[in-house]
Amino acid sequence: MNVRFAERGTLREVNAYRATESAAAGRSPVTFDLSSNELALPPLPTALAVIEEGLTRLARYPDPTARALTEEIAGHLRLRADEVAVGPGSAGVLQQILLALCGEGDEVVYAWPGFDAYPLLVAISGATGVHVPLTSSGEHDLDGIRAAVGARTRVVILCSPHNPTGTVIDRDRLHRFLHALPDHVVTVLDEAYVEFDRGGDPPGTPEVMRAHGNTVVLRTFSKAYGLAGLRVGYAAGPRQVISTVRKTALPFGVTHIAEQAAILSLHSAAELRERLAAVTAAREELTAALRQLGLPVLPSRANFVWLPLPSAAESLARTAATAGVRVRACPGYGVRISVGEAEAHRALLTALGGAARGNWF
């Protein structure tokens, strides 16, 4: 049948988002998935109880404004409720931001490689993505990003800790960069992994917002809080931007269960601290063990590690797959490995240790 329709121009070069390509992994069965930066632990115990209770309410729509969670987050960050917008994952909130601020002919600037969803979400908004390569040490090239900002730029996305390299933008450089941006640009600071930056000195959300009017901070309950399957995240920013961002929200986008689990997660600071300590200790052990095998690993502040192996990314992913471990190959750049179960690390290290070093260099 002849189907006639007009696809939006910016979508033509874009693929629908999908989980890690199996091409690199071949057809091996996956026992351990270290490709999506999920937590290898269940949600915090306090949040689990409320998830069960929420099952009895599934015939009802959730609160369309997720007011209780919005207020809880605002209290947590010492902001006002009109400075917070909650949505279905921070990717969902980023989509709202881009739809609210950009359209055809506009540009969105971000570092590359970066979070796979950025190009897709930018294309959905109708805008064009401008990629600025990371530095050789896997960091944002803030001068390069500043130079890429022009009259058409509506949004700059910064990611700290950065996916996929785990590097952070330090506080002074961030302030200097934001200070130097022209007024017509909104910066989205994606902090999906900020909770894992223990011992670091990330600027607090209110501090960034008060110092720079046009900055929106993006956070999620998917990573440190272990609620990726429930889809809940938020943006904190100036009230004027937040009120625009709310207009592009999918009605009822945050379920009642997600809202309640997120509220309880915010109340579970001690449980969270314990788990962050375990994840960051496992990250350091994994880093040391990979280095012992002679592999290059960047110091990471997130729940994953990055191996800058531009020409061996796929072959490393294939070797990992022979042990049932799925990792994320970024061909031409490197490999990202999420911190997982001790057993997953053992399987991975055994497989990599058994391969000839010449495979990677």
Ligand X SMILES: Cc1ncc(COP(=O)(O)O)c(C=O)c1O
Closer to ligand X at the Cβ: 141 or 293? 141
In three-state form (DSSP H/G/I as H, E/B as E, the rest C), the secondary structure along 277-322 is: HHHHHHHHHHHHHHHHCCCCCCCCCCCEEEECCCCCHHHHHHHHHH
Contact 348, 34 (CB under 8 A): yes
Closer to ligand X at the Cβ: 233 or 253? 233
* Distance of closest approach, residue 313 Cβ to ligand X, in angstroms: 18
* Distance of closest approach, residue 162 Cβ to ligand X, in angstroms: 8
CB-side neighbour CA atoms (13 Å) of 357 = 7
289, burial (CB in 10 Å: exposed 0-12, middle 13-18, buried 19+): middle
Contact 217, 191 (CB under 8 A): yes
* Distance of closest approach, residue 90 Cβ to ligand X, in angstroms: 3
d(CA 343, CA 346): 5
Question: Which stretches of the chain bind ligand X, using CB under 6 A?
Answer: 37, 89-91, 115, 159, 163, 190, 192, 220, 222, 228, 233
* Distance of closest approach, residue 140 Cβ to ligand X, in angstroms: 13
Closer to ligand X at the Cβ: 254 or 290? 254
Contact 360, 295 (CB under 8 A): yes
The Cβ of residue 63 has, within 10 Å, a number of other Cβ atoms equal to 15
Q: What is the DSSP letter of 40?
A: S
* Distance of closest approach, residue 161 Cβ to ligand X, in angstroms: 8
* Distance of closest approach, residue 93 Cβ to ligand X, in angstroms: 8
Closer to ligand X at the Cβ: 220 or 280? 220
Closer to ligand X at the Cβ: 88 or 203? 88
Tokens (6 digits) for 300: 């990471």
